[in-house]
A and B are shown apart, each in its own frame.
Chain A
């Protein structure tokens, strides 16, 4: 049971982080379908940090450095979306999809290059982080507390405050709802859309490193993020683009994702003798159902997906 909660919280953390990323981007008016790719690149940044940082660094700065690295990678990578969709008015769906493919392919090429350079016989795309991982965990009586759970909570509160209590949030949301109105009062729509995209890159990168640290102690980069970026988008839609509701949605989805990791710990579930693949499908099936039930009355930012062109004012 404790294990279920532990997994639920860690998966929920990933989903909430990434969904908040999508939330910032969409509130600024840019649909970010490339979150999956951003997660992969973010996790690459974090994994590389864990590979090269000496383990002698104490836990807190170590964790912060790894996270910082993931964020920097995520932000840098999301700028590809920004350039294409904001400055060149490209189709956001195509660019997002390209970023997903580019993320996995790029990370695989990079890790393989690093591995092969170190040892010509090693053509794998795996990075191991058995020892570094321990720095992220605190064992509390059988419950593995992961720093990311706390970070998510903090980041969630920050997101809420930024969106609803600050000038930045007000202007950001105006750009996603009615960019012409924002522009007419002197708000630079391009700037705020860039901010939205880069913040989503930061959140995505954070979610990415959290994702590869969640269960295992090594990561094969060919696997990408297994649709987690898209699950996060489902969480975001279910959460109606509002941080507090995203948190609840994330917990729900996290629960179903956790089931597939721990169902064998529950005798009655084992007795049902359902193939493991069914549990694997669960989060995706649930999200489809949830989307089918909620999408028709969802209220997305009005101007999302529409490139802003100040020549058409």
Chain B
């Protein structure tokens, strides 16, 4: 009995476990608050609405159609995961890349333009999107390290600049009668990402492409880079303590710029992963920056700042976002999902507090159990 107890305590002591519990608390609370909002709007259908949001593709009857909609969720998860990884990567160096949306937009712009104007194959389109995203990210990094511009503000400014730029550029490849860009599938089929038969697994969902497995591979790669390599060691050291990183000779400015470059590249790639499936067209008159980058923030923090965690959190965020479309429109609106995502990010702000709280509880139990203090010595400064 005692043994079991301490085993449980040991698992609870790990940081990963505490992150998982904190994230679950955020999700439950976020959904609960969302439910309360629904109750306020209209109490009769609130429970059904919140379950519809959570059900997403289970909302439909029949496994074929469910599988198809499951595929759709995956299609949209891939770019979100890339955005989440993008934010995570720069956050490890202590930078908050809110400009992810803009880098994503830059990727979308170039991928679509290369596909529709120049009829490039999918691979060069992908590379160009990565390059543009990286360029946008680098700009933020340079402004931060050489001009001391707060990366959040410069990121937001760039988001808008890139948005208007993209609208201007993509107007050249839009449909005559609508503000939407031409269909990639129709005008440049070679630019569509290959499916390699993956679509067949999802009831012939043509949008399921190599983007889905690739994004997961990239998440794994990001984890390896951060935890197993010299580069990751330097990045995290810079993020934790800039002064110490400088003291031991790490090139702190270069690392900042490099991490934002990679961050931007990931976001740009995410956009290519989405727009080169043909799932959606770009609306050239849009006056809002794509939400993908902002939802990425939710996924990053909900994933406990762990690349593998973000795979699941990205899926969850996308799951409820698409699920939001299923709510009864005569009573509610689909933005209820955005609201829940935003609530979850807000709640993620409390994660640090939750973790400290958990650590204190464990510490107290430990002290009670062993009667020893030694392992928890105060910082003797």
Contacts and interface: CB of A to CB of B under 8 A. Distances in A.
A227 interface: yes
Interface string B133-149: 00000000001000111
Contact of B165 (A84, A97, A277): A277
Given A80-B346, A106-B342, A113-B332, A88 B153 contact: no
A106 B161 contact: no
Interface in B336-375: 336, 338-339, 341-343, 345-346, 348-350, 352-353
Interface string A295-310: 1101000000000000
Interface string A264-307: 00000000000101101100110110011101101000000000
B281 interface: no
A298 B153 CA distance: 15
B342 A234 contact: no
A105 B338 CA distance: 6
A120 interface: yes
B260 interface: no
B335 A108 contact: yes
Given A106-B342, A295-B147, A281 B165 contact: yes
B96 interface: yes
A237 interface: yes
A95 B350 CA distance: 9
B160 interface: yes
A277 B168 contact: yes
Interface residues of A, number: 53
A233 B342 contact: no
B21 interface: no
B349 A88 contact: yes
Interface string B164-176: 1101100000000
A230 B153 contact: yes
Contacts of B330: 116, 120
Contacts of A89: 352-353
B167 A277 contact: yes
A102 interface: yes
Contact of B158 (A90, A117, A288): A288
Given A226-B287, A277-B168, A291-B143, A105 B149 contact: no
Given A88-B353, A95-B346, A227-B157, A33 B152 contact: yes
A274 to B, nearest CB: 10
A90 B353 contact: yes
Contacts of B331: 116
Interface of chain B, helix or strand or loop or mixed? helix
B149 A95 contact: no
A181 interface: no
A91 B351 CA distance: 10
A291 B353 contact: no
B148 A98 contact: no
A45 interface: no
A104 B331 CA distance: 19
Given A285-B161, A291-B147, A99 B346 contact: yes
Given A84-B350, A95-B346, A227 B160 contact: yes
Contact of B339 (A109, A117, A295): A109
A97 B164 contact: no
A116 B188 CA distance: 41
B345 A97 contact: yes
Among the interface residues A99, A102, A120, A231, which one has the most CB atoms of the partner chain B within 10 A? A102
Contact of B161 (A95, A102, A288): A288
Contacts of A277: 164-165, 167-168
A116 B333 contact: yes
Given A101-B294, A108-B333, A280 B154 contact: no
Contact of A288 (B143, B168, B335, B353): B143
Given A94-B349, A95-B349, A222 B152 contact: no
B219 interface: no
Contact of A90 (B164, B167, B352): B352
A164 interface: no
Nearest to B353: A88
Q: Which 8 A-B pairs have the closest CB atoms?
A: A90-B349, A98-B346, A102-B342, A101-B342, A105-B338, A98-B345, A112-B333, A230-B156
11 contacts: A93-B152, A94-B348, A102-B343, A117-B42, A120-B330, A230-B152, A231-B157, A277-B168, A281-B164, A295-B148, A296-B147
Given A99-B346, A116-B331, 8 more contacts: A94-B345, A98-B346, A109-B335, A109-B339, A123-B333, A277-B164, A291-B157, A295-B148
